């Protein structure tokens, strides 16, 4: 006999507590294999395809696309085991089939090495009780002629039934009923063994809405002689004043919600300050052009401006390690970090993300550039894992790609600083005592004033500017 197993939304790691269903990859009735992806979800960190640890037939899905589910909420149920008609004793049918143990190849926080505990379904007595069709109609209101309300038929259990468990498995169904004041004890489920499904609750909600609408329409019907009151006329106007106040509400969830939470926390907890400086990047651009034009044994992959800026940042952090730190507020300690995990801001269709180049302090410009290119491509396709979006110690924000000169960045909590880089463009500049057109860029450093004073932040920013203006300065640290 087949056994129905419930697959819940697993712990996706990195402290994530919820995820939004983006796209179902299977339908009810589909046959799935062990470890086959069944749903694509979006967390605050990344898009993830969730594999099912059971093989069998999908019997139910919980949640429509766009629904946000907490970790541990049911995702779907799968019927596993022998098909009907196969031989087996009653004792054997009480244990999970061997194949239902799963593969163990699953996400953080849940495993299939041990057999899943069987979820016993309580057979409600309600299934055997008489079910009546309850016609609902609107009552007349006073002597005013009324419009007859449509008769809505809803299957309800015997009104006298108040004892026993309610046959509902999904917490989403319970919440939906609770939000719409639907008494689950009065519903007769259309699922197996009288299980109340979301469709049953939806039907009850629609029936209640139709009844309420018909009643309201009947109550507002005008008397044959009386003139319609101004208040009633205003209410009946399809494009009245109330419509003018309508506004679109967009939920703060997914990447947008995570960004909002993190930036709000940064502004609340971190006493930040910003300093900035203009720098002549003409020599840096010339050095980059020479690197990329090299041929023969000296030739290599093209080096981006962002890769050079990242390498300059790692050199600056080696001189000013105070900015590669974080603050432990509970212990009241500054935690100075030994390694540099460099985050860089990347704008994608899903919003702003900050991939992290691990151990950037051990890489040269070419290695950093290759890793930035790899992570950027993953960001564009929405395939960055949570681990690739967390753990940064310092962030580089190149907002010059948007065609702007300057900004005051918000620190990526719990880091201590962020370097912002504007666009590099020709500007009049005094060079060697003469006015000339040079490639000028504005740099801004936002820092946590708890980890250092302005002298340290100014020294860091000045060193970065010197490296841009005189790239040979970097040779000392190579």
Size of the chain, expressed as the number of residues it contains: 478
How large is the greatest C-alpha to C-alpha distance in the chain, in angstroms? 99
pLDDT of amino acid 267: 92
pLDDT of amino acid 278: 97
Alpha-carbon gap, residue 372 to 383, rounded angstroms: 14
Q: What is the mean pLDDT of each run of 10 residues along the chain (478 residues)?
A: 85 73 90 90 78 91 88 90 49 41 48 41 42 42 41 45 55 72 80 76 84 73 51 48 68 79 91 96 95 87 94 96 96 96 88 91 95 93 86 94 90 96 96 95 97 96 96 78
Alpha-carbon gap, residue 439 to 429, rounded angstroms: 9
Contacts 24+ apart (CB under 8 A), 230-236: none
| Sheet containing 56-61, strands listed edge to edge, beginning at the edge strand earlier in sequence | 3-8, 74-80, 56-61, 31-32
pLDDT of amino acid 234: 46
Alpha-carbon gap, residue 436 to 304, rounded angstroms: 25
Alpha-carbon gap, residue 212 to 139, rounded angstroms: 11
Tokens standing for 401?
């790609």
Q: Which residues contact 135 (CB under 8 A, 6 or more apart)?
A: 151, 152, 153
Give me the helix-helix angle, 365-380 and 305-319, nearest 10°.
120
- Cα 457 → chain centroid: 34
Alpha-carbon gap, residue 388 to 454, rounded angstroms: 32
**DSSP bridge pairs for 80:** 3
pLDDT of amino acid 339: 95
Active site residues: 449
Q: How far is CA 182 from CA 136, 137, 179, 203, in A?
A: 15, 18, 8, 11
Q: Do residues 23 and 11 make contact, with C-beta atoms less than 8 angstroms apart?
A: no
pLDDT of amino acid 110: 40
Residue 396's nearest CA partner among 382, 407, 380 is 407
- Give the pairing of strands 47-52 and 18-24: unpaired
């Amino acid at each position: 006999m087949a056994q129905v197993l419930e697959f819940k939304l697993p712990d996706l790691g990195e402290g994530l507590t919820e995820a939004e269903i983006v796209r179902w990859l299977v339908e009810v009735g589909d046959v799935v294999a062990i470890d086959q992806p069944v749903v694509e979800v979006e967390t605050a960190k990344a898009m993830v395809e969730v594999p099912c640890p059971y093989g069998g037939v999908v019997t139910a899905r919980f949640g429509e696309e766009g629904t946000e589910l907490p970790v541990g909420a049911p995702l779907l149920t799968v019927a596993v085991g022998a098909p009907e008609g196969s031989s087996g004793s009653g004792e054997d049918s009480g244990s999970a089939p061997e194949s239902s143990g799963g593969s163990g190849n699953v996400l953080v926080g849940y495993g299939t090495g041990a057999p899943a505990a069987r979820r016993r379904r309580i057979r409600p007595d309600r299934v055997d009780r008489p079910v009546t069709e309850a016609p609902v109609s609107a009552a007349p209101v006073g002597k005013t002629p009324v419009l007859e309300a449509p008769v809505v038929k809803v299957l309800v259990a015997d009104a006298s039934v108040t004892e026993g468990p309610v046959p509902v498995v999904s917490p989403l169904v319970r919440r939906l009923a609770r939000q719409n004041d639907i008494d689950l004890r009065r519903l007769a489920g259309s699922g197996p063994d009288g299980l109340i499904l979301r469709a049953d609750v939806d039907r009850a909600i629609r029936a209640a809405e139709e009844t309420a609408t018909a009643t309201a329409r009947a109550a507002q019907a005008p008397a044959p002689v009386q003139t319609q009151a101004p208040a009633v006329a205003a209410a009946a106007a399809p494009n009245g004043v109330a419509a003018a106040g309508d506004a679109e509400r967009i939920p703060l969830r997914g990447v947008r919600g995570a960004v909002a939470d993190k930036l709000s926390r940064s502004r609340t907890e971190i006493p930040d300050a910003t300093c900035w400086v203009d720098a002549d990047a003409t020599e840096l651009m010339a050095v980059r052009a020479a690197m990329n034009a090299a041929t023969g044994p000296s030739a290599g992959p093209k080096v981006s401006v962002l890769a050079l800026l990242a390498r300059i940042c790692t050199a600056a952090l080696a001189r000013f390690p105070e900015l590669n730190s974080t603050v432990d507020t509970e212990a009241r300690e500054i935690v100075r970090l030994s390694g540099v995990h460099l985050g860089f801001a990347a704008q994608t269709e899903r919003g702003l993300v900050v991939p992290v180049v691990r151990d950037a302090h051990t890489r040269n410009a070419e290695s950093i550039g290759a890793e930035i290119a790899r992570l950027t491509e993953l960001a564009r396709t929405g395939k960055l894992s949570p681990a690739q979006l967390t753990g940064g110690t310092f962030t580089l924000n190149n907002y010059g790609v948007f065609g702007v000169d300057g900004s005051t960045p918000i620190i990526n909590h719990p880091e201590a600083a962020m370097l912002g880089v504007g666009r590099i463009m020709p500007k009049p500049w005094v060079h060697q005592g003469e006015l000339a057109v040079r490639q000028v860029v504005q740099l801004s450093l936002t820092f946590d004033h708890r980890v250092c004073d302005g002298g340290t932040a100014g020294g860091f920013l000045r060193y970065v500017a010197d490296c841009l203006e005189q790239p040979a300065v970097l040779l000392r640290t190579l």
